[in-house]
């Protein structure tokens, strides 16, 4: 997705769902809102008509039209000019209300997109806020295979040749689902949520050395692929791991975290070696992560049990 959104693109994406119609300002369809632009602005991306702190998409409901009708002619025209000078992405009139002639003229003169919808104001507000926030959210592309394993999103990473695709193929054959291979895109749609999707070019595809590009949907069926998933865990395949001299690592495992956008995502490192069943180890890593997310940590429980035995003197 691009780092910007044009007015005509927003209309094309939501026009059918919101039943939008153009009333004026078609020449302003090229108007752009940049990603990150809203972060420095006080109001939200979409909101009811606000002259002091104008929103990017100004929703004009019955209350706003009544307020405009209560102004004298000169003040009304000054308000309309001020609205247009703020260069909103678009103006949207709710409930198929009649558009005042002066509002249409001001939109045409300033090339401001003017739309009308039969939907009520709160419906337009909710849908526009959600769509704009998602379309303009921070985004990053990571290298790896993104899968759904035991209902959570897991990104398998590692150097080239580490066996990521072979592991993914084995996991798919065990009933897990592919989201994206090679270049999954992650969008921070909430302060603690990273949503992972697949680029359209790579949809349903998995590249395996020696076999080439496989269409997972055609080979394993619709249930073997998933459109998107929230990222909760990263499993990193380490080809030449350095032997750990820390005894505690044998108990707690090789784990850490990786910063993706503004979130710290848990990471489990799995050494790659001949004879190791990485699919089983990955499933076990996901099960362990689920246990820890519920507050149950086997390593911590063992250490607590060990300390209790030492205090009681039960160990030889």
Cite the active site residues. 143, 164, 182, 250
157 forms beta bridges with: 236
Q: Are 107 and 113 in contact (CB under 8 A)?
A: yes
In the three-class reduction of DSSP (H, G, I as helix; E, B as strand; rest coil), residue 215 is classed as strand
Q: Are 28 and 15 in contact (CB under 8 A)?
A: no
Q: Are 119 and 95 in contact (CB under 8 A)?
A: yes
Question: Cα–Cα distances in Å, from 54 out to 46, 80, 91, 215?
Answer: 9, 12, 11, 48
C-alpha 131/C-alpha 199 separation (Å) is 18
What does R_g of the chain's alpha carbons equal in angstroms?
27
C-alpha 46/C-alpha 56 separation (Å) is 6
In the three-class reduction of DSSP (H, G, I as helix; E, B as strand; rest coil), residue 299 is classed as helix
């Amino acid at each position: 997705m691009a780092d910007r959104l044009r007015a005509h693109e927003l209309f094309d994406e939501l026009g059918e769902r919101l039943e939008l119609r153009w009333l004026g300002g078609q020449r302003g369809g090229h108007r752009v809102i940049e990603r990150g632009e809203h972060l420095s602005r006080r109001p939200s991306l979409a909101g009811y008509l606000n002259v002091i702190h104008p929103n990017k998409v100004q929703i004009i409901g019955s209350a706003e039209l009544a307020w405009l009708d209560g102004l004298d002619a000169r003040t009304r025209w000054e308000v309309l000019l001020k609205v247009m000078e703020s260069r909103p992405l678009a103006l949207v009139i709710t409930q198929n209300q009649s558009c005042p002639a002066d509002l249409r003229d001001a939109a045409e003169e300033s090339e401001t997109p003017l739309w009308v919808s039969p939907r009520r104001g709160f419906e337009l507000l909710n849908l526009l806020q959600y769509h704009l926030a998602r379309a303009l959210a921070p985004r990053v592309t990571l290298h790896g295979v993104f899968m759904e394993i035991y209902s959570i999103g897991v990104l398998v990473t590692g150097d080239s040749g580490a066996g990521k695709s072979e592991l993914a193929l084995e996991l798919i054959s065990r009933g897990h689902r592919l989201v994206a291979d090679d270049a999954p895109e992650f969008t921070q749609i909430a302060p603690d949520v990273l949503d992972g999707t697949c680029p359209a070019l790579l949809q349903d595809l998995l590249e395996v050395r020696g076999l080439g590009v496989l269409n997972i949907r055609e080979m394993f069926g619709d249930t073997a692929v998933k459109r998107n998933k929230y990222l909760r865990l990263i499993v990193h395949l380490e080809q030449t791991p350095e032997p750990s001299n820390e005894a505690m690592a044998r108990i707690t495992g090789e784990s850490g975290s990786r910063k993706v956008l503004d979130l710290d995502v848990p990471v489990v490192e799995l050494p790659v070696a001949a004879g190791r069943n990485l699919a089983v180890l990955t499933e076990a890593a996901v099960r362990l992560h689920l246990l820890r997310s519920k507050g149950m940590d086997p390593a911590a429980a063992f250490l607590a049990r060990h300390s209790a035995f030492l205090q009681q003197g039960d160990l030889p």
